[in-house]
Amino acid sequence: MIELFEEVDREVALKGRRWVLGHISTLSPRDIEKIARLGLVVTTHTNRYIYKEGHLLQRRLPPERHREITPMRELIDAGVKVGLATDNVPVSMFWPIWQVVARMSNVTNQRVAPEQAVSRAEALRCATTNCAYLTFDEDKKGSLEPGKLADLAVLSADPLGVDEAGLRDITAAMTMVGGRIVHESPNWHG
């Protein structure tokens, strides 16, 4: 896909247009350089390429290339906007957040390319402000600021303080969209 994006870029500059490279699995340092140069934004499929198949990718790639498996750290360090995504079960965004922080295989229970882990704060930005940027909605949503939509959730645990395994179990006790409560767990405020 990157070569196709480069071909398009030769005809029409892509920088600033927020073209999306989706469901990344492995990217070389050269791929990341091209993505940054083209100004592409990236979405992940961490449930597949870290959690379910990361151990298979590690088996197929020589050890010196393991860092290419969903290379979150290198993408963020290169200035690439990365949005976390989930299009599979479990639907909760806290699974992809946990997956890019912990980078655990569900088969081997070993870390997959641990040098590519990101901090919890970075993972939360990828799930919120970066996703809003991806859809040209950064002026309306993605962060809590005056003038933006009042979309928020009261969480069952603090994602910055809960133990690592607990990240994936966080749920919304209350959800507000446009300033209106659309979901409430019993006794969420108490």
**What digits encode the pLDDT tens for the residues 155-169?**
999 999 999 999 999
pLDDT in tens, 103-154: 999 999 999 999 999 999 999 999 999 999 999 999 999 998 899 987 889 9
Structure tokens belonging to residue 156: 């069952």
State the average pLDDT for the chain: 94
Q: How confident is the model at residue 41 (pLDDT cuts 50, 70, 90)?
A: very high
Tokens representing residue 149 in the block? 């939509």
Residue 115 falls inside a structural domain: yes
Mean pLDDT of 72-80: 98
CA separation for the pair 45, 39 (Å, rounded): 20
Is there a domain that residue 14 lies in? yes
How confident is the model at residue 98, as a pLDDT?
A: 97
**Position 154 in a domain:** no
Beta bridge partners of 82: 42
DSSP category for residue 169: G
Residue 149 lies in a domain: no
pTM of the model as a whole: 0.93
- Give the DSSP per-residue string, 89-137: SS--THHHHHHHHH-B-TTT-SBSSGGG---HHHHHHHHTHHHHHHTT-
Q: Is residue 43 part of a domain?
A: yes
The span from the CA of 81 to the CA of 49, in Å, is 19
The Cα–Cα gap between 70 and 190 comes to 40
Residue 173 host element (H or E): strand 172-177
Residue 95: which CATH number? 3.20.20.140
Which percentage of the chain shows pLDDT scores above 70?
A: 98
User: 189 pLDDT band (50/70/90 cuts)?
Assistant: confident
Report the number of distinct structural domains present in the chain: 1
| Tokens read off for 43 | 């979405």
**SS3 state of residue 154:** strand
Closest CA to 159 of 92, 72, 80: 92
Place of tokens 């920088």: 15
Residue 168 within a domain:
no
In a domain, 151, yes or no: no
Q: Which structural domain range is residue 94 located in?
A: 2-138
Confidence of residue 190 (pLDDT cuts 50, 70, 90): low
Q: Is residue 54 part of a domain?
A: yes
